[in-house]
Structure 1
Amino acid sequence: MGDDPGLMTVLLAMFAGAIRVSTPFLFVSLGEMLTEKSGRINLGLEGTLVFGAMSGYAISYHTGSPWLGVLVAGLCGSLFGALHGYLCKLPKVNDIAIGIAMMLFGTGLAFFFGKPYIQPSAPRLPSISFGTWSDHPAVRQALEINPLFLLGIALAIFLWWALKNTRYGLIIRTTGDSAPAALALGIHVDRVRLLSTMAGGFFAGIGGSFLSLYYPGSWTEGLSSGQGLMAVALVIFARWNPIYCFWAALLFGAAGALGPALQSIGISRGYHFFNAAPYILTLLIMIASTSPRRSLKGAPGELSITK
């Protein structure tokens, strides 16, 4: 690697880019995974992600505290999740249709309220430097890691443990696998799904705040690029497992970092094709998911896609 600085630059850029790009994917996919574990699909997380980005940026701009912006973005996500959960418990309501409506509602609200924040600059989230030991500038830059990425790793591990080993995890899994069985055990199905959807919205809101407050680090209307929708494919790819969600998010992040990494060493031919890598990966995953025997292994039984 030392004999080929171009290759080293690409690998370091992809490593750093994978961490940056994967962080929103990680939070949104963990939120969608938790929601789906309770037996509900929330396609509205795209709108939650965008509104979280806008609200987090606005709060950071007005208060000077990006971490307060992250918290508010998560709380806004919970409100969207609460609205989604309430509408979905009404009779003869389809959760996929409600999710699409919530996606349009969230993005529309974000664009409306976010107009004044397109130009102003808000304080950004700090990063932790793990590369102070190196004299190589590219290594030091690659090892500038945002705390939210580390929080996402901890959250994935915690959710994996909690769903397997705690009473609350058992309640969520039972609700998602069989509503009649949950009712027979005295579990309030609608309440479990409402709280799970709110928690999923909270995670998605945090993922949105990362976009506006760290990378790319500004508020624009095209900030999300469909990451909330791609997270649904990511959850299927990860087989509804929080640890697999982390690795799948890194894979999507590396795919998204491929184009900029190649451009950093002067390879611009096919740049737009490489920028489309995450969308191509999503398409391939959805094509591979057309076989219920393979794609829906591990899926909660109450999801509408399994019926």
Structure 2
Amino acid sequence: MEQTDLGLWGVPLAILGGAIRVSTPFIFVSLGEAITERSGRINLGLEGVLVFGAMTAYAVAVLTGSPWLGVLAASASGACFGLFHGWICKFPKVNDIAIGIALMLLGSGLAFFFGKPFIQPSAPDLPAIPFGLWSNSSQVQAALNINILFLIGAALAVFLWWAFKNTRAGLIVRVVGDSSDAARAMGINPNTVRLLATAIGSALAAIGGAYLSLYYPGSWNEGISSGQGLMAVALVIFARWNPLGCFAAALLFGGAGALGPALQSVGVTQGYYLFYAAPYILTLLIMIATSSPGRALAGAPGVLSITK
């Protein structure tokens, strides 16, 4: 006989499954922002990149029938935004935070304009691996139905953590982020490194947007992001620019986002909207905790604007 009701045990299981689903965009956006910030540049435009990537992935998947072509198209669009951002920021007296906000508005506006014809059509979903087939419970099966992008994001976090410590490319990014003068003394052009880091970071953020439109929630609409691109910036600071920390913090944010639906599934309806606000409350608390003037940001790149 199939067992579908796990009682209160369904709450942690639902939070686990929800954390995996909700955290995936955070993983890609935060890892991308970690790369960008480790090079000494902060990119507040990732919210616009995320939304434009979601629209691009959905539109290409609708037109081609391939969700993976949608992901590739989204990453290419994100790289273009990153290259544009990096190119503008190389000029003297240009504030990267202000440029990021401008590009956030531009990306969102372009996504809403070009995405209107794709609100109604249905796009194919990204595949997932059913790790819960061993169980007869539909709740277990749903919680352990894990999208491939989550697994790619987990592997990418481990790779970036290793690469920053053990590769020449990682050393170059860290040197540029800590001191432009030291980088120039080593024959490295800081503007070129930051340009490439911003492009790679934006490409990863756009993949996070592709996940939103092609898997969870799996549709395209103008409110698809809900500020996840901006929250990822706080997440990177909380993780101290460590890719593994970004992955863990993304799961924490994902669990906070899954708290409301999990409690609602067992009949807890008091404070319904407060539960859904948990990720935003967590973001606020993290920003307050990390913004103390008497507390140094351990691991922060030396030339990052937020540390000045």
With the shorter chain as reference, the TM-score category is over 0.9
Task: Please say if 1:14 is aligned against 2:15.
Answer: yes
Task: Please say if 1:224 is aligned against 2:201.
Answer: no
Deviations for 1:52-99, whole angstroms, at most 9, x for unmatched residues?
000000000000000110111011000000000001001110000000
CA distance in 2, matches of 1:171, 1:208: 28
The aligned counterpart of 1:127 is 128
Deviations for 1:240-265, whole angstroms, at most 9, x for unmatched residues?
00000000000000000000111111
- The alpha-carbon distance between structure 1 residues 20 and 295, as it changes in their structure 2 partners (threshold 3 A), is farther
- The alpha-carbon distance between structure 1 residues 280 and 295, as it changes in their structure 2 partners (threshold 3 A), is farther
CA distance in 2, matches of 1:98, 1:141: 41
CA distance in 1, matches of 2:306, 2:12: 38
The aligned counterpart of 2:162 is 161
The aligned runs of 1:54-65 (5 Å cut-off) are 54-65=55-66
CA distance in 2, matches of 1:213, 1:47: 17
The aligned runs of 1:130-149 (5 Å cut-off) are 130-149=131-150
The aligned amino acid for 1:83 is F
CA distance in 2, matches of 1:261, 1:230: 22
Name structure 2 gaps, 5 residues minimum: none
- The alpha-carbon distance between structure 1 residues 228 and 295, as it changes in their structure 2 partners (threshold 3 A), is farther
The aligned runs of 1:68-79 (5 Å cut-off) are 68-79=69-80
How far is the alpha carbon of 1:6 from its aligned partner?
Answer: 2.5
CA distance in 2, matches of 1:282, 1:295: 19
The aligned counterpart of 1:202 is 203
Deviations for 1:13-55, whole angstroms, at most 9, x for unmatched residues?
1111000000000000000000000000000000000000000
The aligned amino acid for 1:131 is G
State the secondary structure of the residue aligned to 1:128: strand
CA distance in 1, matches of 2:206, 2:294: 33
**What percent of counterpart residues are identical?**
70
The aligned amino acid for 1:110 is A
Deviations for 1:210-261, whole angstroms, at most 9, x for unmatched residues?
0000000000100000000000000000000000000000000000000011
State the secondary structure of the residue aligned to 2:225: coil
Task: Please say if 1:25 is aligned against 2:26.
Answer: yes
Deviations for 1:265-302, whole angstroms, at most 9, x for unmatched residues?
12122110000000000000011012245461110001
Q: Say if 1:236 and 1:295, in contact at 8 Å, map to a contact too.
A: no
The aligned counterpart of 2:284 is 283
CA distance in 2, matches of 1:280, 1:6: 28
Name structure 1 gaps, 5 residues minimum: none
The aligned counterpart of 2:192 is 191
TM-score normalised by length of structure 2: 0.97
How far is the alpha carbon of 1:119 from its aligned partner?
Answer: 1.1
CA distance in 2, matches of 1:25, 1:98: 22
Q: Which moves more between the two structures, 133-142 or 106-115?
A: 133-142
CA distance in 2, matches of 1:296, 1:149: 29
The aligned amino acid for 1:163 is F
Number of matched residues? 305
Task: Please say if 1:107 is aligned against 2:108.
Answer: yes
The aligned counterpart of 2:255 is 254
CA distance in 1, matches of 2:202, 2:126: 21
